[in-house]
Structure 1
C-alpha cells in the first residue's frame, strides 16, 4: 500500500475551497476509481491522466488506484483537477517525493500528450489558496500572468506534466514542446470608451445620466428610435470612476470564472459594460448551466453597467429575475448539486420605445399601434421592477438646432467630486454611494424639518409613490445635492429628484 497527496481548489460560485487530493495505491486488480462528488467532466479525468502519464514516458501504476477529493461532501467540477490527480497518484507510486508535493496547489487540465492546458477561474482559485495559507501554486504556463495578479502567491508555470514532475525532483525526461494555447476569450470587455460629446441635445437625459453615474442609480429611458438611448447608455461607463484595488480583483475574478478575461491586460480597472441582446435566455443573463452554474451577464456587469436595450422585448423570466440583484447586489443560483453565489451589484439601464412601432411621440399621429398594444408592450416592465429604478426619463426627437453638450471628461470630473463627497459622508459605513444608503439613514440626516419631504409625503398619501419609491427619490435628492456641492439636499433637490423619477407625469 502507498499513499500520495497534493492540493487543488474547487470553486463553488466565486468561493474557492482548498481540496486535498489523496491517491491510495493498493496491491489488487488494476483499477482507477475517483470519489468525492466529481461531475462528468471531472470523472473523465481518469482517462486524460492515464494518457498524459503514458505520453510523459512513465508507466501507470499497475495497482488499484483510488483518488479521493476531500472534503468529499463538496461538489467538484471541471478539468482543473487533472494535474493534481496525476501528481498525487505518481507521488503514491514513488515517482516524486510525497512530502514535496503535499502542500503545493496544482491547477490545470492535462492533454493526452501530457501538455498542460489553462482552465477558467485561476484567479479566484489562487486567491482562495493564498487565503488558506497555501501560497505555492503550480499552473499552466498560459495562466501564469493571471495567477501572478494575486499578492503573496508563489506561482510556478509549466508546459507539461513532465515539467511539473521534474520540478518536484522526479527523474523524467522533459520534452521541448510548444505551450498549449490559452482558452479563447469569449467576450473581453471593450477598452474604447465613446465620448458624451457625440450626443446631440437631450439635456434632460444627459442630466439623468450624470446623476446616475454620481450616485450609482438605475435608469430607464423611453423614447422613439434614433433619439440616442443606446448612445447614452454606452457612455455611462466612461463617467464612472476607476475600480479600487479590491474591486478590481473581485471583478476580474468573475470574468476569470466566466472565461471573459485576458490576463495580458492585467486586472480590470474600469467598470465593465454588458449589453445582452433581447433574445438572450435567462441562463445567459442571470447565469446557469449544468452542475455548478456559471455567471451570466448580470454578474459580469458587477460594479459596472448592465444595459437592456429594447427592454420590453426581453422575456418576463429575465426581467423578473433581475429584482433579486437589484435589491441585494448578488445572485443566488440554486441547482441540485448546491447553490452558487455571484456578486451582481450593477447599475441597470433600461431602454424602451413608447410603443411597439416606436412612433408614439407628441400627439402620436404617426403611431399605428392600438391602445391595448401600447399598454401590453410597456406592461412587460412590471411595477415591482420599475419601482426599483430611480431615474426615468422620456426622450424626444432631436431638432436641427440642438447643440452638442459637454464632453465626458468634464462630466466625469463633476461625478468624481460627487463620489468624493459620498465617500466622506459614508466613511466607516458599508455603503459607497447614495443609491446604496438606506432611506432611514438619509432621512435622519435631513433634520426635523418635514417640509423638505412634504412633496414625497403627499405622493405617498395619494398612492402615486410607494414607500420604497420615496426612499429612492430621497437617495437621488442627496446625489443632486452632491453634484451641486451642497452638504444636504434642500426642497428644490427633492423636487428635482421626484421629477426625474416620474418622467414628467407629476407626483
Structure 2
C-alpha cells in the first residue's frame, strides 16, 4: 500500500515542502531514499522503539520510503514523526483521513515523546502558502508556528496523541496566538535602561544619533569608562520593530534553533556580543550545512564587538561586504544560501595595549606611537564603514555619586522614533533604504544639501583636523540625522559642527 505524508525542509530562512512516500510490499527490508543525511538514516531505530513502546511495530515486510524531491538533500531528525505516521498508515495499523491536509514534523524519543525542531516558523509560512490546513509539531514549537494566520497549529507531546487523533478522531487542542497583542506587550519593558548610566551625557547623545540614523559607531576609551554598559543599552532606544521586521528576525532565530521554548514572536531587537576568539565562519555563517552566523542573528538589532583589535584580522575583514550589502551569501557546490544581515555595528576598544590614553597620570601610560600602532590593527576599509567615532572618558566621582535619575530609555526612544518616521517618509520610494545610514551618493547629494556657511565650516574642519576624504559623506549622513532629531528640513551650520566632532577619532587625526 502506498501512502503520502508531508513534511518540510529548511534552506536558509525559507522552507520547501517534502513529500514522503511510503510503500509496503512483499519481501523484507527497509529502504530510505531521497538524499537523507545520517540523522534521518538513523531514524528507523528511534521509530522502531517509539512504536513498540506505544503498542505498534514496524511491519516485517519490504518498506520503501522516498523523500521527494529526491535530488534535494534533507537533514536533521525532524522527520521521525512524519516517517512513523507514514509507516503506520501504509501498513494499515491506523487509518488516517485527509492526510493531505497536514504537515507533520517532530523528532521522536524512544518512549514516543517529541523533541523540539528547528525552523518551525518558515515551515508554517510555507505550509500556509501551499494550502495545507493543519500543522502538527512538538508543543515546544507550537507558539512560534501559530504566528501564521489561516493555518491550524497543534502542539503535540507524543506520537500516541497523533495516533489517537487519526485513528479514533480524538480532538487536539489548537494553539492560538494573538500576534499583535504579544508583539506590543513586549515593547515597553527594556532589560537595560539608560537611566542606570551616570554622567556620559555626550556619549548618550552620540548613541541617540546613532540609533536615530542607524549609524555604526565605535567607542574608544580606557577600561571602566562605561563603553560596554552604554552599548548594552543601545537596543532599548532603537525604534520598536515593525511586525515585518519581527517576523524576519524570528525566522532567523527559528532556523538556527535559538528560539526560547514556548516563545512566539520576537518583539525585542536582538543584541549579539560574540567573544573576540570567534571564527570567521561563526561570525558570518557557514558550515557543511550553512547556518546563520552572528551577523545574521543580529539582523534588525545590534552587533557589539568588544575589544575590536583583539579580533582576528580575517574575522573583521569578512564583515566588510555584509556591512555594505546588508546580507551575506554562502555558496556551496550544489546550492547557495542567502541570510539577511542588516544590523547596527557597535564596536569598542582601548586606545592602546595598556588601556589608557597618552596621559602621564594614567596607571599605564602609552606613547602616541603605541596608540597609533594599536589602532592600526583595525583596517581603514572597516573604519570607513563606521560613521561615528567617539572618545569615552572616565566618569568623575561627583557624577557617580549623584542621586538624580538620568533620562530613561523610553524618553530617548520617543525622539529616535520620530526621527526614523521622517526618514521612512523620505525614502518611501526606495525599497532598499529605510534610514540615513543606508544612503548612497545619489541620496546624499539630494537630501544633504549645504548652505555656504555650512560648506565653509566643513571645508575648514577637513583641512585643520586632517580628516580623510572618506569622512566627508559620513559627516553629511550624521548631520542629516541630527537635523531629523530636531525636525529640521535643512541641514544647518550647528548640525555640521556637531557631526564633525564625531569624526575627531578619524584614522588620520584622532591623536591630535
What secondary structure, in the 3-state scheme, does the structure 1 residue paired with 2:377 have? coil
**Is 2:342 the partner of 1:345?**
yes
2:177 match = none
Superposition map of 1:63-82 within 5 A: 63-82=61-80
1: CA distance, partners of 2:24 / 2:370: 70
Specify which of 52, 55, 67 is matched with residue 53 of structure 2: 55
CA contact (8 A) 2:358 2:366 kept: no
2: CA distance, partners of 1:133 / 1:458: 64
1:427 match = 428
Specify which of 464, 468, 476 is matched with residue 465 of structure 1: 468
What secondary structure, in the 3-state scheme, does the structure 2 residue paired with 1:89 have? helix
1: CA distance, partners of 2:115 / 2:448: 58
**Shift in Å at residue 39 of structure 1?**
1.9
Q: Classify 1:113/1:394 alpha carbon distance in 2 versus 1 (closer, same or farther; 3 Å).
A: same
CA contact (8 A) 2:190 2:236 kept: no
**Shift in Å at residue 69 of structure 1?**
1.5
What secondary structure, in the 3-state scheme, does the structure 2 residue paired with 1:105 have? strand
**Is 2:136 the partner of 1:138?**
yes
**Is 2:202 the partner of 1:204?**
yes
CA contact (8 A) 1:195 1:235 kept: yes
**Shift in Å at residue 284 of structure 1?**
3.4
2: CA distance, partners of 1:25 / 1:347: 55
**Shift in Å at residue 63 of structure 1?**
2.2
Specify which of 481, 484, 490 is matched with residue 482 of structure 1: 484
Specify which of 251, 257, 260 is matched with residue 259 of structure 1: 257
2: CA distance, partners of 1:459 / 1:44: 67
What secondary structure, in the 3-state scheme, does the structure 2 residue paired with 1:501 have? coil
Q: Classify 1:245/1:67 alpha carbon distance in 2 versus 1 (closer, same or farther; 3 Å).
A: same
2:413 match = 412
2: CA distance, partners of 1:100 / 1:225: 65
Q: Classify 1:106/1:417 alpha carbon distance in 2 versus 1 (closer, same or farther; 3 Å).
A: same
> Which is worse superposed, 317-326 or 388-397?
317-326
2: CA distance, partners of 1:400 / 1:409: 27
What secondary structure, in the 3-state scheme, does the structure 2 residue paired with 1:168 have? helix
> Which is worse superposed, 241-250 or 336-345?
336-345
Superposition map of 1:84-103 within 5 A: 84-97=82-95, 100-103=98-101
**Shift in Å at residue 283 of structure 1?**
3.7
Q: Classify 1:38/1:324 alpha carbon distance in 2 versus 1 (closer, same or farther; 3 Å).
A: farther
1:391 match = 388
Q: CA RMSD in A?
A: 3.0
Q: Classify 1:99/1:501 alpha carbon distance in 2 versus 1 (closer, same or farther; 3 Å).
A: farther
1:303 match = 300
Q: Classify 1:79/1:466 alpha carbon distance in 2 versus 1 (closer, same or farther; 3 Å).
A: farther
**Shift in Å at residue 437 of structure 1?**
2.8
CA contact (8 A) 1:439 1:475 kept: no
Q: Deviations over 1:289-337 (max 9, x none)?
A: 4x32222322221111111111111122321122222111122233456
1: CA distance, partners of 2:85 / 2:455: 67
What secondary structure, in the 3-state scheme, does the structure 1 residue paired with 2:412 have? helix
CA contact (8 A) 2:448 2:477 kept: no
> Which is worse superposed, 337-346 or 208-217?
337-346
2:24 match = 25
1:284 match = 282
Q: How many residues align?
A: 488
What secondary structure, in the 3-state scheme, does the structure 2 residue paired with 1:280 have? coil
1:6 match = 5
Q: Classify 1:496/1:41 alpha carbon distance in 2 versus 1 (closer, same or farther; 3 Å).
A: same
TM-score in terms of structure 1 length = 0.87
2:211 match = 213
Specify which of 160, 167, 170 is matched with residue 169 of structure 1: 167
1: CA distance, partners of 2:268 / 2:383: 27
Q: Classify 1:131/1:361 alpha carbon distance in 2 versus 1 (closer, same or farther; 3 Å).
A: farther
CA contact (8 A) 1:292 1:340 kept: no
**Shift in Å at residue 40 of structure 1?**
1.9
1: CA distance, partners of 2:49 / 2:416: 57
**Shift in Å at residue 193 of structure 1?**
2.4
Q: Classify 1:202/1:119 alpha carbon distance in 2 versus 1 (closer, same or farther; 3 Å).
A: same
Q: Deviations over 1:374-427 (max 9, x none)?
A: 344322211111100011101122233447753323322211221122222223
What secondary structure, in the 3-state scheme, does the structure 2 residue paired with 1:102 have? helix
2: CA distance, partners of 1:197 / 1:36: 57
CA contact (8 A) 1:306 1:349 kept: yes
CA contact (8 A) 2:142 2:262 kept: no
Unaligned ranges ≥5, structure 2: 172-188
TM-score in terms of structure 2 length = 0.87
1:183 match = none
> Which is worse superposed, 214-223 or 96-105?
96-105
CA contact (8 A) 1:27 1:63 kept: yes
Unaligned ranges ≥5, structure 1: 175-190
1:160 match = 158
2:182 match = none
> Which is worse superposed, 148-157 or 448-457?
448-457
